[in-house]
Amino acid sequence: MERLAFGYCPACLRGLGGVERTRLWCPYCALPLAGPVLAEVWNVDAELHRLAARRRELLAAARGPGAAGWAGERPAWGPGPAARSAPVPPAGGGARQAHGPGAGASGPGPAAREPGPAGPDVSAVAVRNVLLVLGGVLLTFAALAFALVAGGPTLALGLVTAAALALPAVLLRRNLGATAEAVAAVGLALTYVDAYLLRPEGGGRAYAAVATAVLAAGWAGYGRLLPALRGPLPAALVMAQLPLPLGALAAGWGGEGLSWALLLTAAGDVAVARTRWRWAPVAGGCAAAVAAPALLFSAFAGGPASSARLLLGVGLALYAARRWPRWATALGATAGAALIAAGGGSAPVEGEALLPVYLLAAAAVLAGAVLLASRPPWGEAAGRGATGAAAVVHAAGLVWAAPAVAQAVFAPAAWARRAWEGAPAGPAREALTPSVPWSGGWVTLAVLVICAGSAAAFRPHREGLLALGAAAVGVAPLALGAPYPVALAVLVVLAVALLALPGPAPVLLALAPAWAAGGWALAERGATVAVLAALGVAFAATAAWRTGGDPARRAVAGGAAVVCAAGLARAVPAALGAPVETAALALAAVAAAAVALAPRVHPVTEGAGYAAAAWGLALTAGDAGAFSVALGACGAGAAVVAALRADRRRELTAAALVLSVLAVWVRMAASGVTVPEAYTLPLVPPLLVAGWLARRRSPALSSWNAYAHGLCLGLLPSLALLPEGEPGGTRALAVGAGALAVTLVGARYRLQAPMSLGGGALVYVAGHELGPYAVSLIGGLPGWAAPAVAGAVLLAAGATYERRLRDARRLRDAWQRLG
């Protein structure tokens, strides 16, 4: 952003190098920085600076070569503000800009620029200041030692003090300003030593209060008498902070009186700081130092008197913010915190009931911050500080209420272990969990309502406003003692209302009341079915409505709808007294519908469908008969969805095949069947015919998708039972003949699946039949026969490696050309 062309404020002489052009006033003294009058003032200052620089050059030339370094040194009472501040002239100053600060003070004269030996690395001014400070400290220590040895005030010490106070006037007339400052500092320190030595027996705090007041007045008068000295007036201002607090302690007023004394002292400091006196910043620092402990004490003390002191602190902070806009943010935060503490301290309540009072005070501070923001330049910054203080209080209230809100959302899930035992007949807070009541109360509701109201009034992020409002509505039945049905209905209505709002955030927020309502509904049979049905319809409608909209919204709503449907599929059969197989079938149907509809909704829906199918299988894992029904239902559902979704056809076909075979095996194992072919072979022809029809409709359909189901169902059960029989048995001959037929048919029509499955089965049968004979044959051979045969095989393979490799490649290509 464009910067101001000038570099300082002509009123307070503060630098403005980092101030943006949009700020048309000084951030320190609020002087307007626009207009032709101000431009002329900057031009005049630039001309004065040029003349001062030229004057220094002439003086250096008059002193001769070697004095250019001295020319830059100025006495303590040197040129006026225009020369000291080194202003930067404004742009557009015409010819005057050429004579700006850099024109006449670009460097020393020609003589000073000649090369020479390396000079000292400490300036003469620095050496002078160090010597004067050390001398003053040593003289003060010597006076203290003399006083301690003498045991009390002496005439000699008084004469030394008077001489130290009188000598600076002589030194100033001789242009020795720095030495005069050091001697004056010693004199002021000696007056303090004299006052300490003059204390009466038992004087204590009362004498200290009077002595500090006298010293402050005396130092101030001394500073006015010798205005060229810079130390006495700030020292008097610092000393003036002590009389009132010491007097309050001497009177025995305790913490209350001390706080009043500190605040009154701070008020005097602010009044001094409001002037354009050059020591005003010292007064402001003193005000902050003495007001801070008084405000902290008042904030924790409570009561009307403390609130009055806090209100006085608010006024002082805002008054100071107008004087120093640079510190307006910190002062605004102090004022906001003091006002909140005053509001809470004046309330006639105790304990956690104070929290809503503090929050109401914070809401009032937010309203005041809006008003302050309309009074630039200081009001905007002060308003930001006050807003920050109010936000901290609101955040503290929410942190306090968070455990009760979390319990209201997540604790009802404990009903899953004691489902349908019946909810208690008392208030809803007793039905939150089977055994633990709600830990919150009306204060929790009040905190949430006030925070939500503040968010609505001052418009922060929309999501935060919705979260606070939803939390307040959700805990209202608990806080107000509503019965269980009312609380359950409120949660369901809240979830549906949030789903009706646009955007992904309301759908995410709706999960919390939906979860709580689902948990509470497990307490009663009818409530479970009704709540899951209502929530399932609401989430499904949200996922289906404007399906081309926000994908995050569809993902959350679709997944939640599948969860609700799965809960219904489990709850309804249980409520009707149906066996667990019915619930497994219903869950398989939900899973199939979710996977089939996933392309129109969101992939999250597909994942939720798989979870529902897994739940159905887990329900029946303890009963072999029911487990086989669940496996069969999942396999059938996978086959149906494979026909509907081309993008998942290969995976779902494989899953359907595996699940169907597992279902048959589990069922036959549970029934003690020893001849499974009687149950599996009748199903093979219909499956093969269905595959043949599917390939006629879609010639690009793979032979695996068309025939693998029927072939596996016909071959695998017999192959699984083959090891139980003896070689040469009926089953082995039948399976071998069938596998040979399948392989030949596959070769005739160049179909990959029949050739692979039939050939693999044929090899397995051959291994089963010839295995015992091979073992007996190998057992009859001498020990050297096996290594010899292995070596010969390896030599033959190595000799014909290239030709075999070429044949293998040709066979692979032919295999891939099969259907």
Residue 380 is encoded by which pair of tokens? 């905007």
Residue 728 has pLDDT above 70, yes or no: no
The span from the CA of 507 to the CA of 601, in Å, is: 15
Which DSSP symbol is given to 15? B
Query: Would 516 be classed as within a structural domain?
Result: no
Q: Mark whether 467 and 408 lie in a shared domain.
A: yes
The span from the CA of 678 to the CA of 509, in Å, is: 56
Instruction: Tell me the helix, strand and coil percentages in the chain, rounded to 5.
Output: 75, 0, 20
End-of-domain residue from the set 476, 504, 532:
504
pTM of the model: 0.62
Q: Mark whether 320 and 404 lie in a shared domain.
A: no
pLDDT band at 30 (very low <50, low <70, confident <90, very high): low
List the single range of 77-81, 161-165, 537-541 with lowest mean pLDDT.
77-81
Residue 313 has pLDDT above 80, yes or no: yes
More confident of the two residues 114 and 174: 174
The span from the CA of 690 to the CA of 648, in Å, is: 20
Residue 27: cis peptide before it, omega within 30 degrees of 0? no
Query: Would 661 be classed as within a structural domain?
Result: no
Model confidence pLDDT, tens digit, residues 391-405: 999 999 999 999 999
Model confidence pLDDT, tens digit, residues 227-242: 888 888 888 888 998 8
Residue 221 has pLDDT above 60, yes or no: yes
pLDDT band at 567 (very low <50, low <70, confident <90, very high): very high
List the single range of 337-341, 473-477, 767-771 with lowest mean pLDDT.
767-771
Is 754 within 8 Å of 746 (Cβ atoms)? yes
The span from the CA of 518 to the CA of 527, in Å, is: 9
Q: Read off φ and ψ for residue 8, nearest 5 degrees.
A: -155, 165
Is 90 within 8 Å of 3 (Cβ atoms)? no
Neighbours of 11 (CB within 10 A): 17
pLDDT given at position 117: 47
What range defines the domain where residue 749 resides?
673-780
Q: Which three-class secondary structure state does DSSP give residue 19?
A: coil
More confident of the two residues 110 and 213: 213
pLDDT band at 531 (very low <50, low <70, confident <90, very high): very high
Q: Mark whether 634 and 726 lie in a shared domain.
A: no
> DSSP readout, 552-591?
HHHHHHHHHHHHHHHHHHHHHHHHHT--HHHHHHHHHHHH
Q: Mark whether 537 and 451 lie in a shared domain.
A: no
Residue 663 is encoded by which pair of tokens? 């279902």
Q: Mark whether 698 and 773 lie in a shared domain.
A: yes
Crossing angle for the helix pair 580-597 and 624-644, to the nearest 10 degrees? 20
Average pLDDT of the chain is: 78
Model confidence pLDDT, tens digit, residues 478-528: 898 888 889 899 999 999 999 988 888 899 999 999 999 998 888 888 899
CA 799 to chain centre: 71
The span from the CA of 343 to the CA of 354, in Å, is: 10
Q: Mark whether 316 and 353 lie in a shared domain.
A: no
End-of-domain residue from the set 652, 686, 707:
652
Model confidence pLDDT, tens digit, residues 662-709: 887 787 777 766 677 776 777 788 888 888 888 888 888 888 878 887
pLDDT band at 796 (very low <50, low <70, confident <90, very high): low
Q: Which of 619, 653, 621, 623 is nearest to 637 (CA)?
A: 653
pLDDT given at position 108: 38
Is 59 within 8 Å of 91 (Cβ atoms)? no
pLDDT given at position 69: 43
Q: How many domains does the chain have?
A: 6
Q: Mark whether 388 and 302 lie in a shared domain.
A: no
Query: Would 113 be classed as within a structural domain?
Result: no
Q: Mark whether 250 and 133 lie in a shared domain.
A: yes
Query: Would 517 be classed as within a structural domain?
Result: no
Q: Which residues contact 363 (CB under 8 A, 6 or more apart)?
A: 390, 450, 453, 454, 457
CA angle (270, 274, 277) in 5-degree steps? 115
Determine the average pLDDT of the residues in 156-163: 78
- To the nearest whole percent, how much of the chain has pLDDT over 90? 13
Query: Would 498 be classed as within a structural domain?
Result: yes
The span from the CA of 819 to the CA of 817, in Å, is: 7
Model confidence pLDDT, tens digit, residues 415-450: 888 888 887 777 877 777 777 778 888 999 999 999
Model confidence pLDDT, tens digit, residues 800-810: 555 656 666 77
Q: Mark whether 588 and 734 lie in a shared domain.
A: no
Residue 472 has pLDDT above 90, yes or no: yes
Pick from 248-252, 291-295, 507-511, 580-584 the range whose average pLDDT is largest: 507-511
Pick from 418-422, 469-473, 652-656 the range whose average pLDDT is largest: 469-473
More confident of the two residues 772 and 440: 440
End-of-domain residue from the set 327, 358, 384:
327
Query: Would 785 be classed as within a structural domain?
Result: no
Q: Mark whether 95 and 167 lie in a shared domain.
A: no
Q: Mark whether 485 and 533 lie in a shared domain.
A: no
The span from the CA of 41 to the CA of 35, in Å, is: 10
The span from the CA of 646 to the CA of 644, in Å, is: 6
Residue 113 has pLDDT above 50, yes or no: no
Residue 35 has pLDDT above 80, yes or no: no
The span from the CA of 402 to the CA of 151, in Å, is: 66
Determine the average pLDDT of the residues in 736-765: 85
Q: Mark whether 216 and 307 lie in a shared domain.
A: yes
Query: Would 337 be classed as within a structural domain?
Result: no
The span from the CA of 308 to the CA of 314, in Å, is: 10
Q: Which of 697, 692, 593 is nearest to 645 (CA)?
A: 593
Residue 774 has pLDDT above 70, yes or no: no
- CA distances to 12, 30, 104, 274, 283 from 9, rounded to whole Å, are 6, 10, 22, 18, 22
pLDDT given at position 85: 40
Query: Would 1 be classed as within a structural domain?
Result: yes
- To the nearest whole percent, how much of the chain has pLDDT over 70? 78
